[in-house]
Amino acid sequence: MPFWGTRPELAEVIALARSGALRVETDHSPLSAAPQAFDRLRRGGVRGRVVLVPD
């Protein structure tokens, strides 16, 4: 369930993503570096999202 918008709006966003009109930026970090990743988020040092990957 999304935390924003309606179902039709979600469908529009999904269609945009599938068409390539949206670009998602992700920063991958090992799970063991989660505290540093959160610090970078707090300082505004991350553009987009951080994905924590098990190490």
Q: Full-prediction pTM beyond 0.75?
A: no
Confidence band, pLDDT 50/70/90 cuts, at residue 2: low
Helix (H) and strand (E) counts in the chain: 2, 2
For β-strands 26-30 and 49-53, DSSP reports them as parallel
- What average pLDDT does this structure show over 4-23? 91
Is 7 a residue whose pLDDT tops 80? yes
Cβ atoms of 41 and 50 within 8 Å: the answer is yes
pLDDT digits (tens, 9 = 90+) for 22-51: 888 899 999 999 999 999 999 999 988 999
CA atoms within 13 A on the CB side of 6: 2
Q: How far apart are CA 9 and CA 15, in angstroms?
A: 10
